[in-house]
């Protein structure tokens, strides 16, 4: 096999296979791994999702879920209707029913 320059340090080395672009130096191997990961992240969605931590349902997530589903709107309506009903009740008192003691 012919000697090729390392893409990281530029030093000539004999590659073990045709796809080897980095020499055996630790720094170059690290660079190769980083480059490979970056490349993988770019092309492989499955790899990307595997690398990401699984999202646990958190209170923030739940809150945003409620907001997106319009659940909060329903809750607000319930509160507003409750207020209206209370208001209506106080107005519907029959005159004379509320008699003063004196
Ligand atoms: Zn190198």
32-68 pLDDT tens trace: 999 998 888 888 877 767 776 666 667 777 667 666 7
State the Cα angle at 47 between 41 and 50, rounded to 5°: 120
Phi, psi angles (nearest 5°) of residue 7 = -70, -15
Per DSSP, the three-state class of 13 is strand
Cα 6 to Cα 15: distance, rounded to the nearest angstrom: 9
CA of 48 to the centre of ligand 1 (A): 27
Q: What would the pLDDT profile of 10-39 be if each residue is shown by its tens digit?
A: 999 999 988 899 999 999 999 999 999 888
Q: Quick count: other Cβ atoms within 10 Å of Cβ 6?
A: 20
Taking 70 as the threshold, does the pLDDT of residue 2 lie above it? Answer: yes
CA of 63 to the centre of ligand 1 (A): 50
Query: Residue 24: what pLDDT?
Result: 95
CA of 28 to the centre of ligand 1 (A): 5
Cα 15 to Cα 24: distance, rounded to the nearest angstrom: 9
Q: What is the pTM of this model?
A: 0.43
CA of 34 to the centre of ligand 1 (A): 14
CA of 14 to the centre of ligand 1 (A): 11
Cα 7 to Cα 3: distance, rounded to the nearest angstrom: 12
């Amino acid at each position: 096999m012919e000697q090729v320059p390392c893409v990281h340090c530029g030093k000539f080395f004999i590659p073990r296979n045709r796809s080897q672009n980095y020499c055996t130096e630790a720094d170059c191997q690290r660079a190769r791994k980083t480059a490979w990961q970056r490349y993988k992240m770019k092309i492989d969605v499955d790899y990307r999702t595997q690398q990401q931590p699984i999202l646990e349902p958190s209170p923030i997530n739940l809150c945003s879920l409620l907001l997106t589903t319009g659940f909060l709107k329903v809750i607000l309506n319930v509160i507003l209707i409750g207020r209206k009903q209370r208001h209506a009740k106080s107005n519907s008192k029959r005159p004379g029913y509320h008699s003063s003691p004196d």
